[in-house]
Amino acid sequence: MKKVKADPKGVLTGSHYLDGDYAIAEGGLAAGCRFFAGYPITPSTETAERFAERIPSVGGVFIQMEDELASITALIGAAWGGKKSMTVTSGPGFSLMMENIGLACMMETPLVIANVQRGGPSTGLPTLTGQQDMMQAKWGSHGDYEIIALSPDSPQECFDLTIEAFNLSEIYRVPVFVMTDECVGHMHEKVVIPPAEEIEVVERKWYEGPKDKYLPYKLDKDGIPFMVKAGDGYRFHTTGLTHDERGYPVINAECQAETIPRLSDKITDNADKIIMLEEDQIDNAEIVVISYGITSRVSIRAVQLARKAGMKIGTLRLKTVWPFPEKRIKQLAKKIKAFVVPEINYGQVVLEVERCAAGKAGTYHVPHMGGWVHDPNDILNVIKEAAK
Amino acid sequence: MAEIRFSGFGGQGIIRCGLITGKALSLYDNKHATMTQSFGPEARGSACSSQVVVSADRVLYPYITTPEILVSMSQEAYDKYEPELRDKGILIIDTDLVKPKPIRGKIQMYAIPSTRFAEQLGNRIIANLVMLGFFTAVTKIASPEAMKKALPGLVPGRFLDLNIKAFDNGYDYGEEVLKTATKKKTTKSKK
């Protein structure tokens, strides 16, 4: 993995007062994103607007596509053309992208998609918040594969984690999702953008061997193949069909048995390196509140109230939601009484917590159907119930 | 910790008020300030509002619940948001645009003809800046220096001077109102 300093052209160094949507765009530009294709959808449009305004001045390209199917396809093309590329969308657009997210996984294409979640299903609550696409991010396209999903809790983290998303997508050649929500997307807060020389970005692993020897899916020792830029004189083939190291279709069980585990294992085998967690007062905790995104901030208020009442509460914030931190949750399940999982949906990430707790610790969900964030008292009440 | 709501109708620069205040507090007054805005079909043309939660520490819950400061620049917004203002809160209105109900509890009211002042300065579009100056003087939540420093980038560059003039106009009026209020209080206590 080759780490370099960020290209100063894309880095708007300084303190700013930005919303989460703008901060995603600034994070992308700082990470070296030079291709954006998208279709406007509330509440993510501001990211696209910011890209449209800023990307020409850093030598990049912005295209407003006819729809989200075209957007994700353009991203795949741009990535194989050598660019770091991203798009932004919300629920309905995310649904439309699903087929070719699978193509990106199969072709092992690095790209970043930010989903500023709103209430669903269907057009649902266009202008109001939700966290209802978390399982879709993991399972939305057909077949077996793994992706990476990050969940920022503030405009500052929208900036930071979008850079991280690009770096992870380059290291593992996989689509990475920035799963934020309307609340964080439209919330303005201070965002500090460091100088370019303090921002580390991962460069694509370019093939440098002889032109006639390039095999697009021949594995390097880390299990990740090299890439080339389409148009640089390499002849190669890539496809969504199950393929061999030449990238040619091989439609049989043997090739499938070689390919499919690798697509997942390159992520799960490196889960410890990928997963970012934030823990607080977890050592003596009886109850651990697990949350992500905006809900983690709202939870802290409930946790503060519970601690005031003398309860031993720890918090575990998932900055990385996928791959899921199952190792850590299995460890904790042996030590604590129960997990409390608030999220703005009818029960998604809680199912993973329950699976990992495996009956060793209780699992309590605090659902919210979307449209607003939790009332901290609702979380507090479930914490009390879990402690009984 | 303080919760502030700016309210009026779409087009008055109500969201801008929240942005300028939030930016001033976060970048130049060393506070944490989270700004959110009413976002939906109801925000276009009718009552609209922006909210700022201010704290010395990190803001956890991003929305306001019982604001202690309500700024209203339209009757509809006043009618909609006045009931949530907390007792002992501060109510700030454009006196030409809002006819307030009798003051409830220990709410402190400050009034300014901000739109009329803006027209006198040459353009009613800067009424929000007159209001922000007034708001800064009477609440003292943010420093006037920080507020003015926050303007570049949030108002059109060629109108920066006019916006600063509008801010100062409202600020000076606010100082005067405060002086008169203190005088009244002292005379009262003497009696």
Q: Is ipTM strictly over 0.90?
A: yes
- Spans of all domains in chain B: 2-190
Q: Which of B6, B20, B28, B34 to mutate to test the interface with A (most CBs of A within 10 A)?
A: B34
Phi, psi for residue A345 in degrees, rounded to 5 = -165, 180
The reply to whether B22 touches chain A by the CB within 8 Å rule is yes
Nearest to A300 among B36, B40, B60 (CB): B60
* Cβ distance of A17 and B26 shorter than 8 Å: yes
Is the predicted pLDDT of residue B189 greater than 80, yes or no?
no
The pLDDT assigned to B42 comes to: 55
The pLDDT assigned to A180 comes to: 98
Amino acid at B36: T
Nearest to A190 among B18, B27, B40 (CB): B27
Q: Give the number of A-B residue pairs with CB atoms closer than 8 Å.
A: 58
Mean predicted confidence (pLDDT) in B129-139: 98
CA distance A186 to chain B (A): 7
The pLDDT assigned to B183 comes to: 83
Question: Which domains occur in chain A, in start order?
Answer: 2-203 (3.40.50.970), 276-387 (3.40.50.920)
Task: Provide the sign of the torsion angle of the four alpha carbons B14, B16, B22, B25, taken in this order.
Answer: negative
Nearest to B36 among A17, A186, A301 (CB): A186
Fold of B2-190: Pyruvate-ferredoxin Oxidoreductase; domain 3 (3.40.920)
pLDDT tens per residue across all 388 residues of chain A: 899 999 999 999 999 999 999 999 999 999 999 999 999 999 999 999 999 999 999 999 999 999 999 999 999 999 999 999 999 999 999 999 999 999 999 999 999 999 999 999 999 999 999 999 999 999 999 999 999 999 999 999 999 999 999 999 999 999 999 999 999 999 999 999 999 999 999 999 999 999 999 999 999 999 999 999 999 999 999 999 999 999 999 999 999 999 999 999 999 999 999 999 999 999 999 999 999 999 999 999 999 999 999 999 999 999 999 999 999 999 999 999 999 999 999 999 999 999 999 999 999 999 999 999 999 999 999 999 999 9
Q: Which of B16, B23, B50, B58 to mutate to test the interface with A (most CBs of A within 10 A)?
A: B23
Residue keyed to tokens 């130049």: B28
Task: Assign residue A89 a region (left: φ > 0; alpha: ψ between -120 and 50; beta: otherwise).
Answer: beta
Nearest to A188 among B22, B40, B41 (CB): B22
Model confidence at B39, pLDDT cuts 50, 70, 90, reads: low
Nearest Cα residue in chain A from B25 = A190
Report the alpha-carbon distance of residue A72 to residue A97 in Å, rounded: 6
* Cβ distance of A187 and B36 shorter than 8 Å: yes
* Cβ distance of B34 and A189 shorter than 8 Å: yes
Nearest to A187 among B40, B62, B150 (CB): B62
Is the predicted pLDDT of residue B46 greater than 80, yes or no?
no
Report the alpha-carbon distance of residue A202 to residue A207 in Å, rounded: 15
Q: Which residues of chain A are within 8 Å of residue B32 when distances are taken between CB atoms?
A: 189-190
Q: Encode B34-50: b = buried (16+ Cβ within 10 Å), e = exposed.
A: bbbbbbeeebeeebbbb
Angle B160-190/B127-139 helices, nearest 10 degrees? 40
